[in-house]
Structure formats: C-alpha cells, structure tokens
C-alpha cells in the first residue's frame, strides 16, 4: 500500500489519538523524532486505534514499554530510556548484556 492510500485510511478510519498526527506527518514527508516515530508506529500497528485507545498487550514487541496506552503495572524505572540511550555510546555487545540482565531480572520477579 502506498503512503497516499495509508494517509487516506488514517484520515477516514483513524480516531484522534496519540500517534495520529505524527503518523500523518510521516506519510506527508515530515521528519519525526525517535519518540514521535515510536508513537506513530504504534498508531499504525494498532490499526489506527479504530477500536479505541487500548493497550495492545503485545509484550513481545521491543517498543511495548513505550506504547502510548500501555497499562502494564510493570516498573519501567530499570529500562533504558530513549533519551538516555541516545546520550550513551554503547556497543552492541554491551546492549546485549543489558538485555540479558533485564531478562534475568524479569524471570526472577515474575
């Protein structure tokens, strides 16, 4: 599907919610920040929230912790924030270590 068709679908079927403005800005050639890109992605992935502003509950998605309507009670304080990540010069190997540590923490607490 081309961007013009997606824009039309968003305008016709999408409800006013977090991500709509950003998604439509992207489709019309606008530049987005990383945060805007994430909420635009969630808007698209959730079918333009056409069934309401709800938590997608796709906890296997790497962007789920940042999903605009995430109702998870999970403590997000130990997650690497987008802003913090961008200010850090971290190697892929170090990032993998962080993912493994996070996985272990989740297993122990779950």
CA distance 22 to 41: 9
Q: Is pLDDT larger for residue 71 or for residue 44?
A: 44
3-state secondary structure of 47: helix
Quick check: 2 and 19 in contact, CB under 8 A?
Answer: no
* Closest listed residue to residue 27, CA positions, set 6, 50, 49, 48: 6
Contacts 24+ apart (CB under 8 A), 66-69: 66/35, 66/38, 66/39, 66/42, 67/42, 68/17, 68/18, 68/19, 68/39, 68/42, 69/18
Least reliable range by pLDDT among 7-16, 42-51, 53-62, 69-78 = 69-78
Q: Is pLDDT larger for residue 95 or for residue 87?
A: 95
* Whole-number pLDDT of residue 16: 86
Positive or negative CA dihedral for 75, 80, 83, 84?
A: positive
Rounded mean pLDDT, 11-35: 90
Quick check: 40 and 19 in contact, CB under 8 A?
Answer: yes
* Whole-number pLDDT of residue 30: 92
Mean confidence (pLDDT) of the chain: 79
Quick check: 98 and 80 in contact, CB under 8 A?
Answer: yes
* Whole-number pLDDT of residue 78: 47
pLDDT category at 104 given cuts 50, 70, 90 is: confident
Q: Is pLDDT larger for residue 42 or for residue 94?
A: 42
Domain boundaries in the chain? Answer: 1-71, 75-110
pTM for the model stands at 0.63
């Amino acid at each position: 599907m081309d961007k013009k068709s997606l824009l039309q679908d968003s305008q016709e079927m999408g409800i006013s919610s977090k991500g709509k403005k950003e998604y439509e800005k992207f489709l019309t050639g606008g530049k987005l920040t990383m945060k805007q890109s994430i909420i635009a992605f969630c808007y698209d992935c959730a079918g333009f929230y056409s069934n309401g502003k709800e938590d997608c509950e796709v906890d296997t998605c790497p962007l789920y912790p940042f999903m605009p309507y995430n109702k998870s009670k999970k403590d997000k304080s130990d997650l690497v924030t987008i802003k913090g990540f961008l200010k850090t010069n971290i190697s892929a190997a170090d990032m993998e270590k962080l993912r493994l540590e996070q996985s272990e923490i989740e297993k122990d607490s779950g």
